[in-house]
Structure 1
Amino acid sequence: MADQRKPVRKPAAQTPAKGKAVAPRPRTGEVAAPEPEGYTSLIEPRGAVSDFLAPVGGFGVTLSNMFRPTVTEQYPSEKVPAKPRYHGRHQLNRYADGLEKCIGCELCAWACPADAIYVEGADNTPDNQRSPGERYGSVYQINYLRCIFCGLCIEACPTRALTMTNEYELAGPTRAGMIWEKEDLLAPLRSGMLQAPHPMVEGTTDTDYYRGEVTSSTPAQVAWVQEHRPEDPTLPGGAGLDAANVPGPTAAVMAATVAAATKQGTR
């Protein structure tokens, strides 16, 4: 049978532009182009001893640590504090007067690569003002079975509402118990704060809150809370912050689970 293979067509030679002289590239066995004339490398050449020890140079870190004393942390009997920038459990922060920083924009949910965050926003009303401005986060969930603690949600938050704490002890008896709700994630109330909802500081806008110009609650806000919620524990003379800072049901169960595991593992 006749040979059915097609002839290989050689590429046409490129014609240099007029007025430009193109020097032919030398054909060598090296992958990179040869060094130009007059080039001097800044890397000092290795000696014979360095060339001899080069194959075992990668074991230097291993050999140097073999003779160091071994330090074992006695966890959970001795809990070593985490680094300041450790990525631990999330927290929804508040302003100095007690209003929530979350505006329900859902940017954290969009930025999450593991789809671990679910947010629903709602409109603030005169009787239900939970954050400065027009919107607040009515539903906020974080599924810690999916969360990879990358911190991208923190970078996406425009109001610094979502941050990460140093808490790393997260455990739960059920899968549903690893889904934290908004009441589990809210930061505890501090002195000078009023529990939301309540109006914004009189004469301010949401921009004033973002700039940190609101430093505490005002008498007008206290009067509004006294009128609408006279039994609020954050009012002057109320039950106090300990009564107001009740952890959410999921956070309470997880704290009890971690405490029991710590007690069982303590020597």
Structure 2
Amino acid sequence: MAEEKKSAGLGKALGELLAPVAGFGVTFSNMFRPTVTEQYPFVKHPTAPRYHGRHQLNRYPDGLEKCIGCELCAWACPADAIFVEGGDNTPDNQLSPGERNGRVYQINYLRCIFCGLCIEACPTRALTMTNEFELAGPTREGLIFTKEDLLAPLKEGMLAAPHPMVEGTTDGDYYRGEVTGPTQSQVDWVEENRPEDPTLAAAGKAAREAAK
């Protein structure tokens, strides 16, 4: 028994003596590895597919905005970084399906913690997060992104809003993904009210192809 105690005491003393050396093991193992320097911003590595970067306000295939101004994203934000002010859609100013639209939309990136809770709260999938992470700027005001900064660009064949909803549809049809692009009726409305709209040509072509 005495020998076992003596052996245990010796082992404990030896462990305490070598503990600092073991702690430096990580340091010593890395001292002889080659240095890896990332040449940012000249060489940029791709982010993960689900990376939480800058937000984006999305559109439906016909060009109407998905945001309905419900403010649920603002309520869900733990950092109070989002400000939304809803507006009413009218026959002459139909920005989104249904009765309401996001008239004012702002995200303060000085406060945003990129948690993604706003994305989970959005009922229409209007708000998503991109892989863009370069958000630094010279002024505080420039880091408050407005609706114009956050709106997704119009894809080929989309018709710039405002314009009427697809004839014979409800907002539920939009939410279920049953609207796949602009129709000739929508193109005619924009042509009558905004004949200089640059999206008319591509949207008209898409509407004619869809009607075949």
* Superposition TM-score tier, normalisation by shorter sequence: 0.7 to 0.9
CA–CA distance in structure 1, aligned partners of residues 122 and 23 of structure 2: 44
Relative to structure 1, is the Cα distance of residues 124 and 65 closer, same or farther in structure 2, using a 3 angstrom cutoff?
A: farther
Alignment match, 2:166: 201
Larger Rg over CA atoms: 1
Contact 2:71/2:84 (<8 A) preserved: yes
Alignment match, 1:165: 130
CA–CA distance in structure 1, aligned partners of residues 95 and 29 of structure 2: 55
CA–CA distance in structure 1, aligned partners of residues 185 and 166 of structure 2: 8
Tell me how far 1:82 sits from its aligned partner: 1.1
CA–CA distance in structure 2, aligned partners of residues 159 and 140 of structure 1: 15
Deviations 1:153-202 (A, max 9, x none): 11111111011111111122211111111011000000110000001111
CA–CA distance in structure 1, aligned partners of residues 187 and 120 of structure 2: 34
CA–CA distance in structure 2, aligned partners of residues 73 and 141 of structure 1: 34
CA–CA distance in structure 2, aligned partners of residues 134 and 61 of structure 1: 65
Percent sequence identity over aligned pairs: 76
More helix by share: 2
The TM-score normalised by the length of structure 2 is 0.81
SS of 2:201's partner is coil
Gapped runs of 5+ residues in structure 1?
1-47, 239-267
CA–CA distance in structure 1, aligned partners of residues 57 and 72 of structure 2: 14
RMSD, aligned α-carbons:
2.6
Tell me how far 1:71 sits from its aligned partner: 2.4
Query: How many residues matched?
Result: 190
Alignment match, 2:70: 105
Give the AA of the match of 1:101: K
CA–CA distance in structure 2, aligned partners of residues 158 and 105 of structure 1: 9
Relative to structure 1, is the Cα distance of residues 71 and 119 closer, same or farther in structure 2, using a 3 angstrom cutoff?
A: same
Gapped runs of 5+ residues in structure 2?
1-10, 204-212
Structure 1 residue 93 corresponds to structure 2 residue 58: yes
Contact 2:85/2:103 (<8 A) preserved: yes
Give the AA of the match of 1:140: Y
Instruction: For 1:1-267, list aligned pairs within 5 A.
Output: 62=26, 66=30, 68-236=33-201
SS of 1:236's partner is helix
CA–CA distance in structure 2, aligned partners of residues 219 and 134 of structure 1: 23
The TM-score normalised by the length of structure 1 is 0.65
SS of 1:137's partner is strand
Tell me how far 1:237 sits from its aligned partner: 6.7
SS of 2:48's partner is coil
Give the AA of the match of 1:172: G
Which structure is higher in RCO with an 8 Å CA cutoff and minimum separation 6?
2
